[in-house]
Structure 1
Amino acid sequence: MNVEREGLKIGFIGAGGIAARHVGVLSQMNDVAIVGVADADFGRARELAGKLGANAYNSHADLLDRESLDAVYICVPPFAHGDIEVAVIDAGLPFFVEKPVSLDLASAQNIARKVEDHGIVTGVGYHWRYLDTVEEARGLLAGNPAALINGYWLDQTPPPQWWWRQDRSGGQIVEQATHVIDLVRHLVGEVTEVYALGARTAERHDFPGLDIATATAVSLRVASGAVGTLSATCLLGWPHRTGIHLFSDRMAIELSDHEIMVDVGRGRPIRHAEGDPVEREDRDFLDAVCGLPNRIRCRYGEALKTHHVALAIAQSAVSGQPVLIKPVMGIANA
């Protein structure tokens, strides 16, 4: 698909916080115009659209029907995925979608097949892949692969009520810690087996109806032979630690979404990440939409593999049994 960068017309489906993050980036690009915003909460769509001089809609169907678009951003909660992506694919439009890509594997697999069949350009919001610190770690590990992994998502409970419900968010591993799972895959290799235990605090008066696990401990095995753990909790009142620690021959790496520490026995030097990874992922997506070389680091088929691992962890936490993760067959990284 070849599109002129001047006047690239973008539609947004979903007008929440993560949509606003992308809107803030795209609004700084002189060759991009956000022309429509759709949200089931029409007041929210109208508020965001009003700031942009765009049209507001209360359904994705109306947005797709009434606007002439070059690409779509899908920024909706986990439970809302499925029909939206299918409609966008049927319209022949490239799309960028925020993680997690669904609540179940079958829906995501169906979308991935349709993406591949139609040759649709896609990007998925695993923006940690665009951190310069992650690229540094990737280079260091290329000749000295990690043998031990410790991942963390130790944080507070987000305010949206849908996040508190297993049938709406998929739980903390699927909705949040999926970023860490994606880093494991990106830096160490494919996860082949997981075993998880979950616990839930009996009652949290500030979060009525919360039924997700409030603490999860995961063991995992990687195809390379590396082993690791992932710990997650939403019981804190502040963001305590998110990231991944990697250990290889005479080297330890600590990565978060804002810094890297590389320890080779001569102190613990810390370097802060430079630049905006969301801007980088948006730029790569829009360049690919315009027919320029596709440098997108996480396309839909690639994100599906990360999502598969997150869902396997959720399954293991319920069953109390290890889960072997078989490759997703017939899906490329479209």
Structure 2
Amino acid sequence: MKVGFIGTGWFAKTHAAILAGIDGIEVTAFCGTSMEKAEKEARNWSNAKGFTNVDEMLDKQKLDAVYICVPPMAHSEIEYALIDRNIPFFVEKPLGIDEQPFEIAKKIDETGLITSVGYHWRYKETTKKALSLLDNRKVGIALGYWMGDMPMVPWWRDVNKSGGQFVEQTTHIVDLLRFLCGEITEVYAAYGSAIMQEKVDGTTVSDVGSVTMKLQNGMVATISNTCILNHSNKVGLDLFTEEGIIELRNELLREIKGKQILEHKDQGNPYIEENKIFLEAVKTGNIEKILSDYKDSLKTYQVTLAANQSAMSGQPIRLEL
């Protein structure tokens, strides 16, 4: 199977390194913002070539699948090009920063193209454990967090390029909430810009925020984020049930029942899992094991856009399911 990459950053390097360990997969093309970047990644593969133009890459290389690993503002034209050529793709979150993903989703639905989106928390062993624990428990409220530092790449701190922290990072926690607890029907957000605009030139993203959500099943959830810290502090989701608390962190699930605390640690690598499942789906046409395709991910994206809209308007936003 011949695979191409659009993007040469951390995510592209991470996925390409995983693909190097999967039998039958050959990466043959990299498209970057410069030929230097593209060729640097291509040199890791015996038959790979570098490109700076997506259409040229797709015209010159026969590819069975493509990975899209680009910043939020760089989406849309890439996806349209792949849909037009009927090439399955794996895309890293978020899907974009505007309304284009909704049109892209319609075209994907029309063609039946195989897609997967990089919500790797869905593939964690601890997430599977949480799902099993919730089989006989009812969640009343959830609290989510993405408390950390500001990524020091210029596009991230520009709200017109990244969409802001809730869209670009905290989307993982929104998606985890949806995956475990169901659909979100209403969003109310409050954002602030207290510190980073004075510390880092060019900062237009909010640096603190909380988003309260109502779910279809009657639950209430609040997810908060900040990028004012100088380190990553707290990222995860806490579920409060009538039998106790389920705490999900990056590599750990903690089950709390009064004074009793049970811990479950991730043993696998969710990035490897999501890659293998996507490539197997491309090979066989069976998409049953893909946990996050474009159509489903669009619902998470819609929640994050609604949060931005609510923060700007000061009003709650109802979502159409």
Pairing of 1:148-187 with structure 2 (within 5 A): 148-187=141-180
SS in 2 for 1:269: strand
Alpha-carbon distance in 2 for matches of 1:177, 1:203: 18
Matched length: 319
SS, match of residue 273 in structure 2: helix
Question: 2:17 aligns to what SS in structure 1?
Answer: helix
Match in the other structure for 1:66: 60
| Preserved contact between residue 72 and residue 94 of structure 2 (Cα < 8 Å) | yes
> Quick check: 1:114 aligned with 2:69?
no
Counterpart residue identity of residue 326, structure 1: E
- Equivalent of 1:238 in 216, 219, 231: 231
Distance 2:167 2:35 in 1: 27
Q: Aligned equivalents of 2:96 and 2:197: distance in 1? A: 27
Report the equivalent of 1:300. 294
Query: Which one of the candidate residues 39, 60, 70 is aligned to 1:46?
Result: 39
Show the counterpart of 2:191: 198
Aligned counterparts, 1:242-321, within 5 A: 242-291=235-284, 293-294=286-287, 295-321=289-315
Q: Is the 8 Å Cα contact of residues 51 and 57 (structure 2) preserved in structure 1?
A: yes
Aligned residues of 2:148 and 2:232 also touching (Cα < 8 A): yes
Q: Which residue does 2:79 correspond to in 1?
A: 85
What displacement does 1:40 show? 1.6
CA distance in 2, matches of 1:202, 1:36: 42
Could you say what secondary structure the match of 1:268 adopts?
strand
Distance 1:316 1:22 in 2: 35
Detail structure 1 runs of 4+ shifted over 4 Å in the superposition: 202-206
Deviates more, 1:122-131 or 1:192-201: 192-201
Asked if the contact 1:145/1:188 (under 8 Å) is kept, the reply is no
Q: Is the 8 A contact 2:195 2:228 kept in 1?
A: no
Aligned 8 A contact 2:137 2:243 in 1: no
Residue 244 of structure 1, CA deviation: 0.2
Residue identity in the other structure for 2:96? S
Partner Cα distance (1:169, 1:186) in 2 = 24
Q: In structure 1, how many angstroms separate the alpha carbons of the residues matched to 2:109 and 2:101? A: 12
Corresponding position: 1:55 with 2:49: yes
Matched letter for residue 8 of structure 2 = A
Pairwise CA distance, 1:203: 5.3
Partner of 1:125: 118
* Change in 2 beyond 3 A, CA 1:75/1:203: closer
Q: Distance in 1 between matches of 2:64 and 2:25?
A: 10
* Partner Cα distance (1:235, 1:45) in 2: 33
Report the Cα distance in structure 1 between the residues aligned to 2:93 and 2:67, rounded to whole angstroms: 12
**CA-CA distance at 1:271 after TM superposition:** 2.1
Shift of 1:206: 5.0
Specify the alignment match of 2:131 in structure 1. Answer: 138
Per the alignment, in what secondary structure is the counterpart of residue 167 of structure 1?
helix
User: For 1:161, what is the secondary structure of its paired residue?
Assistant: coil
Structure 1 residues 272 and 202, CA gap change in structure 2 (3 angstroms): closer
> Matched residues in 2 for 1:77 and 1:148: separation?
33
Q: Does 1:217 align with 2:210?
A: yes
1:97 aligns with 2:104: no
1:4: which partner in 2? Answer: none
Q: Secondary structure at the match of 2:145?
A: strand
Of 17, 25, 36, 2:29 maps to 36
Deviations 1:33-59 (A, max 9, x none): 000000123221121111223100011
Identify if the C-alpha distance between structure 1 residues 232 and 296 changes in structure 2 by more than 3 Å, giving closer, same or farther.
Answer: same
Q: TM-score, normalised by structure 2?
A: 0.97
8 Å CA contact retained: 1:37, 1:49: yes
> How many percent of aligned residue pairs carry the same amino acid?
37
What CA deviation, in whole Å up to 9, does each residue of 1:193-237 have, x standing for no partner?
Answer: 111110012554652101000000111110100001111000011
**Conserved in 1, the CA contact under 8 Å of 2:11 and 2:69?**
yes
Residue identity in the other structure for 1:297 = L
> Root-mean-square deviation (CA), in Å?
1.1
Structure 1 gaps, min length 5: 1-7, 328-334
Describe the superposition over 1:156-187 as per-residue Cα deviations: whole angstroms up to 9, x where unpaired: 10011100000000000000000000011000
Is the aligned partner of 1:16 residue 2:9? yes
CA distance, structure 2, for counterparts of residue 193 and residue 205 of structure 1: 33
Residue segments in structure 2 that go unaligned for 5+ positions in a row = none
Aligned to 2:226, the other structure's residue is in SS state strand
